[in-house]
A and B are shown apart, each in its own frame.
Chain A
Amino acid sequence: MGSPRESAVRRRDWQLSTLALERFLASLDSDRDRAAERYEHIRTRLLRFFEWRGCAFPDECADETITRVIRKIDEGAAIQDPDSYCYGVARLVLLESLKEREREREALTQMQPLSLWVDDVQTDIEHRLECLRSCMKRLPSDQQTLIAEYYRHDSGSRIEGRKRLAATLGIGLNALRIRAHRLSAHLGSCVGRCVERQELA
């Protein structure tokens, strides 16, 4: 293994390669398609974990977590349960991210306090409605249907409704969630751009 210093140098010099990525995917599943699906599954959870824990940049933290796990596997670590292992690494990444944010807190406290939260939310929703309508219309009709059906059911029947929708589409529930997540992220960024344009105008 070498000294801690040697390990640190190795970590610093290590670079993500196609081979390392292949090793990581192989550790998820021997079947390439299933491995890709499992990767998406892990990344979706990581994104929500960082979001729920108040991380400012969940995308970056999720990518950093996966990169560290890939490096570990590339260095020869045998991982029995990739889901749990990723969660363990994600907690470390979160701690580092929170420490980083702590350093910024001083500067943030200097900023103006938030005004009335509820009014802000209502205003933001009103601003976004037009943009969301326009972004929805830009989606192909099959994707419009998918997002509408995905969010259609009331609480309690939603999981069953989504299972039926996945069965109708001939895909797994996980694949359906990944598609809905991508669509929702796509809509979110489309709405963000639209609001930015409105503000500039």
Chain B
Amino acid sequence: MASPVDDRLLVQYLVGDCSEDERTRVEERFFTDEETFERLCELEEDLAWRYARGELNVTERGQVERAYAARPRRDRLILTIALGRVLAEPTQGPERALAPVIETPALGGGWWLVVRRWLSLEPTGARLVLAAACAALVIGLAMQMQQARQLRATLAQSTEDSASLRQQAEGAARRASESERRIAALTEQIARAQPATGELSPPAPRPVFATFVLMPGRTRSAREPAQIAPPRNADTLRLQLNLDFDSAYASFKAELRTSAGDLLWSQDRLPPRKTGDSASVSLTIPAALVTDGEYELLLQGHLRGDTLEDAASYYFTVAR
């Protein structure tokens, strides 16, 4: 087995401060060796956080700024730093115990000075008295820390419960609002379908369906959003979401959001179906739900244990 690549070379690779031969050596290793790739990713995170904390010297800062000057590397650096900050905030994350990722560096030398003074303290009696005082202080601190830990655990539990309740309440409100919207749309359709008593009944208007096929996009910018132009008299939109992967999910949940991220509609337990060589998921949504503008459809797949995982996103623009 080849010897591990040392961290210094990996950091030089990240900031582009190595020869072509060294680059090739690093790349050959991380393509075939799990540990090297993992270490490289870890060093990149460290580099971003050290940069954010001002721990790099002038040369290192210059190298980072040159290497990360252009997108998408610059975006990754910024996201990594921002993620570190957000995860270190007391309100973010499932519990406060998440280690603060960006910390103030510890002050060096303080403890060593105390130890040196202690070693030089005379006479021995004074040293013993001080030792007893220190022991009492340590015991007191330990008890306080224990209490603080218990309080933190209680607080974390309460925060978690509160977040869970809030999510349930938001979910219920959203479902209620969606139901109301659906009922209103149905009522309108029924009213249109039922002529007033006594009138000659004209032929019932046939519901108009508009069908569109959407391809997934990894990001909004990766591909121009699909343009769809449903007829103005369309009652219902049928969207066929093509899957660019072999579906291992038993069913899907779809969420339709505006470009501002507001949830307009969602449906769960949508089954995939075979479409030629690939698979797709079909949705039927009231046409009145979408006006002219940009939309995102997020498709999540059900894993074992009912866990949901992001499977694909579809971006489209409606222009009537």
Query: Which residues of A are in contact with B by a Cβ distance under 8 Å?
Result: 17-18, 33, 36, 45, 48-49, 51-52, 54, 56, 58-59, 81, 83-84, 86-87, 114, 117-118, 121, 124-125, 128-129, 132-134, 136, 138, 140-142, 144-145, 147-149, 151-155, 158-159, 162, 173-174, 177, 179, 182, 184-194, 197
- The count of A-to-B residue pairs whose CB atoms sit within 8 angstroms is 145
Question: Are B98 and A136 in contact, CB atoms less than 8 angstroms apart?
Answer: no
In whole Å, how far is A186's beta carbon from the nearest beta carbon of chain B?
Answer: 6
Closest 5 CB pairs of A and B: A148-B93, A18-B277, A87-B31, A189-B219, A145-B94
Question: Are A154 and B93 in contact, CB atoms less than 8 angstroms apart?
Answer: no
Selected from A138, A149, A177, A188, the residue in CB contact (under 8 A) with B79 is A188
Q: With contacts A132-B86, A149-B98, A191-B79 known, what are 15 further pairs, Cβ within 8 A?
A: A33-B248, A45-B31, A87-B31, A121-B78, A125-B85, A141-B94, A152-B87, A155-B42, A158-B45, A159-B35, A173-B34, A173-B38, A188-B76, A189-B219, A193-B220
Question: Are A148 and B98 in contact, CB atoms less than 8 angstroms apart?
Answer: yes
For A190, give the chain B residue with the smallest CB separation.
Answer: B261
Question: Are A121 and B77 in contact, CB atoms less than 8 angstroms apart?
Answer: yes
For B307, give the chain A residue with the smallest CB separation.
Answer: A142
Selected from A36, A49, A56, A153, the residue in CB contact (under 8 A) with B70 is A56
In whole Å, how far is A173's beta carbon from the nearest beta carbon of chain B?
Answer: 7
B92 CB-CB contact with A under 8 Å: yes
Question: How far is it, in angstroms, between the C-alpha of A144 and the C-alpha of B163 when the chains are bound?
Answer: 12
Interface residue SS majority, chain B: helix
In whole Å, how far is A3's beta carbon from the nearest beta carbon of chain B?
Answer: 32
B164 CB-CB contact with A under 8 Å: yes
Question: Are A45 and B30 in contact, CB atoms less than 8 angstroms apart?
Answer: yes
Task: List 26 A–B pairs whose Cβ atoms lie within 8 Å, in order of A's numbering.
Answer: A18-B277, A18-B278, A48-B30, A48-B41, A51-B72, A51-B73, A52-B73, A54-B70, A54-B73, A56-B71, A59-B222, A81-B32, A118-B65, A121-B74, A128-B79, A132-B86, A140-B308, A141-B163, A148-B87, A151-B45, A152-B98, A185-B218, A187-B79, A192-B221, A193-B220, A197-B260
B235 CB-CB contact with A under 8 Å: no
Selected from A84, A125, A152, A187, the residue in CB contact (under 8 A) with B31 is A84
Q: Which of B148-170 contact A (CB under 8 A)?
A: 163-164, 167
Q: Determine the interface band of chain B, counting residues with CB < 8 A from chain A.
A: 35 or more
Question: Are B92 and A184 in contact, CB atoms less than 8 angstroms apart?
Answer: no
- Chain B residues within 8 Å of A154, by CB: 99
**Which among B31, B52, B163 has the highest number of chain A CB atoms within 10 Å?**
B31
**Which among A121, A151, A184 has the highest number of chain B CB atoms within 10 Å?**
A151
Question: Are B31 and A153 in contact, CB atoms less than 8 angstroms apart?
Answer: no
- Chain A residues within 8 Å of B180, by CB: none
**Which among B35, B219, B278, B307 has the highest number of chain A CB atoms within 10 Å?**
B219
With A87-B27, A145-B94, A148-B93 already in contact, the answer to whether A187 and B83 are too (CB < 8 A) is yes
Question: How far is it, in angstroms, between the C-alpha of A61 and the C-alpha of B87 when the chains are bound?
Answer: 32
- Chain B residues within 8 Å of A141, by CB: 94, 163-164, 167
Question: How far is it, in angstroms, between the C-alpha of A129 and the C-alpha of B89 when the chains are bound?
Answer: 11
- Chain B residues within 8 Å of A84, by CB: 28, 31-32
Q: Which of B196-227 contact A (CB under 8 A)?
A: 218-222
Question: Are B37 and A45 in contact, CB atoms less than 8 angstroms apart?
Answer: yes
- Chain B residues within 8 Å of A17, by CB: 277
**Which among B35, B83, B98 has the highest number of chain A CB atoms within 10 Å?**
B83
- Chain B residues within 8 Å of A173, by CB: 34, 38
Question: How far is it, in angstroms, between the C-alpha of A105 and the C-alpha of B98 when the chains are bound?
Answer: 44
In whole Å, how far is B255's beta carbon from the nearest beta carbon of chain A?
Answer: 10
- Chain A residues within 8 Å of B28, by CB: 84, 87
B264 CB-CB contact with A under 8 Å: no
Question: Are A117 and B42 in contact, CB atoms less than 8 angstroms apart?
Answer: no
Question: How far is it, in angstroms, between the C-alpha of A193 and the C-alpha of B221 when the chains are bound?
Answer: 9
In whole Å, how far is A146's beta carbon from the nearest beta carbon of chain B?
Answer: 10
Question: How far is it, in angstroms, between the C-alpha of A56 and the C-alpha of B164 when the chains are bound?
Answer: 41
For A46, give the chain B residue with the smallest CB separation.
Answer: B31
Question: Are B92 and A133 in contact, CB atoms less than 8 angstroms apart?
Answer: yes
Question: Are B86 and A182 in contact, CB atoms less than 8 angstroms apart?
Answer: no
Question: Are A128 and B82 in contact, CB atoms less than 8 angstroms apart?
Answer: yes
Question: How far is it, in angstroms, between the C-alpha of A121 and the C-alpha of B72 when the chains are bound?
Answer: 13
- Chain B residues within 8 Å of A177, by CB: 38, 41
Question: Are A151 and B220 in contact, CB atoms less than 8 angstroms apart?
Answer: no
Question: How far is it, in angstroms, between the C-alpha of A59 and the C-alpha of B220 when the chains are bound?
Answer: 13
Question: Are B42 and A193 in contact, CB atoms less than 8 angstroms apart?
Answer: no
Question: Are A132 and B82 in contact, CB atoms less than 8 angstroms apart?
Answer: yes
- Chain A residues within 8 Å of B42, by CB: 155, 158-159
B81 CB-CB contact with A under 8 Å: yes
B84 CB-CB contact with A under 8 Å: yes
- Chain B residues within 8 Å of A125, by CB: 52, 78, 81-82, 85
